[in-house]
Structure 1
Amino acid sequence: MLIDFNKAKEVTMPGMNHGTGMMTAKMYNEWKYDCDERFQKLKKNEEELNRIFIHIYGLEEELTPEEEDQYVTVRKADLKRDIKSFSSFAVGCMFGRYSLDADGLVYAGGEWDESKYKTFIPDKDAIIPITDDEYFTDDIVGRFVKFVKVVYGADTLEENLKFIADALGGKGLPREVIRKYFLKDFFKDHCKVYKKRPIYWLFDSGKNDGFKCLIYMHRYQSDTLARIRTDYVHEQQARYRTAIDGMERQINRASTSERVHLNKQLSKLKNQAEEIRIYEEKIHHLADQMIQINLDDGVKHNYAIFQDVLAKIK
């Protein structure tokens, strides 16, 4: 299933039989054709209802029965939008909001039921790092690749990742394109779909991408920030120190022509390391408070509590 977040309905994506299919352009086009047929059929039905009501109330002089596409209650297929929606559904499965073993919304607070997740297991601590390189094996890209593998199978994994990357656009290898999407655009898209009331919160150190991670608001606990700080921020700081040391040794051995490029990389790493150092102090201050939230207060109120360490909602 693929969630249509704009209308809170589920639609079927091609090949989403666990481990048995490939999301090819051909399969997508077949699914697109089915979507378009449903769209045109519903549009025709809605226009016929309009004609009936216009006739009943004698409004022929004032109204026409034609329905604009944007007001038809199902959507046409759109590859880029649908792949983004698929990515959002994957993140929902990572957090346990959705499950490949149950229809609809599975968890939005309350008692956690592990028995609802068999095919794809949600993230244990509900903290998913987003980095510009593969610093964590279980970062959002690693988990997304695993999700695609579980849904469509190992044999077609690389073809499916390429199909997804091509739909998202951008240059580079499929995993690089997917990483860039999660790093730069996923949260912006999420905020648009949820009308600036995100349920996935982006912890963000700043413009240098020193540190980013997503959490699911409904799985927030009072020690979540402490775990982000000790298990992820501190780990990322250690990785930057190692990377900087390695880069400096590499520069010392490099030729003059190579040093320009390497020094640029070193400068980026140092900027990220400094950014995360400052960020660690901010998150430390909040983590020590062991803040509790009330979901009934809503997204806007709760998000504002952590605004110093969260990405701005645009």
Structure 2
Amino acid sequence: MPLLTADYEAETLAETYANLRQHWQAMTLEMQRLEVENNRIFIEAYGLQDELTPDVPLNEITLTCNPHYRYGGNKTEAELETQLQADTMAEFLSYAVGCMFGRYSIDQSGLILANQGDTLQHYLAKVPQPRFTPDADNVIPLIDFDGDWFEDDIGERFKHFLKITLGAENYQANLKFIEDALGKDVRKYFLKDFYADHVKRYKKRPIYWLFSSPKGTFNALIYLHRYQPDTASIVLNDYLREFRTKLTARKQALEQVGIRSDTKENQGEKTKALKAIAKIDQALAEINDYERDILYPLATRQIALDLDDGVKVNYPKLGKALKSVAGLS
């Protein structure tokens, strides 16, 4: 991950990105210079001065760090820079998710867990004293419902990752830089954009799979290479049912608010509580249907996967429990 390379390291992420971007610009211009020189030599060798020009436009310098080539079109310099910065931050979040699952490590380069059935124990055998420890059960929840529901929620895990990698002292400034680049807060990015970006990044062959209820209230991300036949059971028992228990407890607390506020002076509080209860009832109905019709039947089947069959064969085996992906579901 270039942003974590010592060559570009600075006090804040903004300064680190500026150093990295300067390096990318220098590399792009050097490549352009070399291609122009090659063209000049070719033209002179064959006497083509009247027919060809050695010039090479920036959009023909085929480096992914070159926004003129990467995005093309008629965008202004400012628009290109904005897009590159946003994509670089999205790539940083993708790398962070890889570290959450143990695919990557901030303590060791290259792939760490990339074989079928790999576990946290396999990771610790390769990285005995990690600064950032991967998720233990290979399930990271993403809950699209206001509130803090799980300690290992993806948003919280990322914020911990950010403090470990870039330091706690500039945490707020670094988080703001990322969110400004993305145009939204990190939690919203993970809920609304991450999986679509991941599917696109891996050309509709995702390695992280998203368990998702029909309306997306409950979501849980897993890493394919750490999948086990009991993974769906873990999602069901340790996350979906736990989420339902917490939702029910919140509903009961709101009902008490409604009872205490049953006076003319407190009608506003009661109305607010009733709206929140109605929203919870909708969420409970959604996740109850998801459990009864989809996740529980899947969990009881204890489906084994063979990674050699590929994502296209394996993804449909978990059926509607997973987020629909065109061409896979």
Q: TM-score range by the shorter chain?
A: 0.7 to 0.9
User: Which residue pairs with 1:137 in the alignment?
Assistant: 151
Q: How does 1:30-45 map to 2 (within 5 A)?
A: 30-45=19-34
Q: CA 1:154–1:58 in structure 2 vs 1: closer, same or farther (change >3 Å)? A: same
User: Which residue pairs with 1:66 in the alignment?
Assistant: 56
1:217-237 deviation line (CA, Å, top 9, x unaligned): 111111111111111111111
Residue correspondences, number: 294
Alignment of 1:114 onto 2:124: yes
The 10-residue stretch of structure 1 (295-304 or 212-221) with the greater mean CA deviation from structure 2: 295-304
1:128-175 deviation line (CA, Å, top 9, x unaligned): 0011331001111111111111101222222222222222213xxxxx
The 10-residue stretch of structure 1 (144-153 or 160-169) with the greater mean CA deviation from structure 2: 160-169
Q: CA 1:33–1:215 in structure 2 vs 1: closer, same or farther (change >3 Å)? A: same
Q: Which amino acid aligns with 2:259?
A: N
1:157 to 171, 189, 200: 171
> For 2:320, what is the secondary structure of its paired residue?
coil
User: Which residue pairs with 1:249 in the alignment?
Assistant: 256
Alignment of 1:205 onto 2:213: yes
Deviation at 1:39, TM superposition (A): 1.7
Deviation at 1:59, TM superposition (A): 7.9
CA distance in 2, matches of 1:57, 1:122: 59
User: Which residue pairs with 2:236 in the alignment?
Assistant: 229
1:186 to 156, 176, 194: 194
Deviation at 1:268, TM superposition (A): 1.7
TM-score by length of 1: 0.85
> For 1:130, what is the secondary structure of its paired residue?
strand
CA distance in 2, matches of 1:284, 1:116: 35
Alignment of 1:23 onto 2:30: no
Deviation at 1:90, TM superposition (A): 0.2
Q: CA 1:246–1:291 in structure 2 vs 1: closer, same or farther (change >3 Å)? A: same
TM-score by length of 2: 0.81
Alignment of 1:169 onto 2:158: no
Q: Is the 8 A contact 1:205 1:276 kept in 2?
A: yes
Alignment of 1:104 onto 2:118: no
Q: Is the 8 A contact 1:201 1:214 kept in 2?
A: yes
Q: CA 1:211–1:48 in structure 2 vs 1: closer, same or farther (change >3 Å)? A: same
Structure whose CA Rg is larger: 2
Q: Which amino acid aligns with 1:27?
A: T
**4+ residue runs of structure 1 moved beyond 6 angstroms?**
54-60
CA distance in 2, matches of 1:288, 1:248: 35
CA distance in 2, matches of 1:68, 1:21: 28
Deviation at 1:55, TM superposition (A): 6.5
RMSD of Structure 2 on Structure 1 (CA): 2.5
Alignment of 1:268 onto 2:282: no
CA distance in 1, matches of 2:195, 2:213: 14
Q: Is the 8 A contact 1:229 1:284 kept in 2?
A: yes
CA distance in 1, matches of 2:42, 2:319: 50
CA distance in 2, matches of 1:53, 1:273: 70
Deviation at 1:21, TM superposition (A): 5.9
Q: Is the 8 A contact 1:101 1:116 kept in 2?
A: no
1:60-114 deviation line (CA, Å, top 9, x unaligned): 8589752552651241472211111000000000011111111122221155341
User: Which residue pairs with 1:311 in the alignment?
Assistant: 323
- Unaligned runs of 5+ residues in structure 2 are 67-80
Q: Which amino acid aligns with 2:196?
A: K
Deviation at 1:211, TM superposition (A): 1.0
- Unaligned runs of 5+ residues in structure 1 are 3-11, 171-176
Higher relative contact order (CA 8 A, sep 6+): 1
The 10-residue stretch of structure 1 (114-123 or 303-312) with the greater mean CA deviation from structure 2: 114-123
Q: Is the 8 A contact 1:126 1:216 kept in 2?
A: yes
Q: What is the identity percentage for the equivalent residue pairs of Structure 1 and Structure 2?
A: 38
CA distance in 2, matches of 1:228, 1:57: 67
> For 2:29, what is the secondary structure of its paired residue?
helix
CA distance in 2, matches of 1:161, 1:264: 32
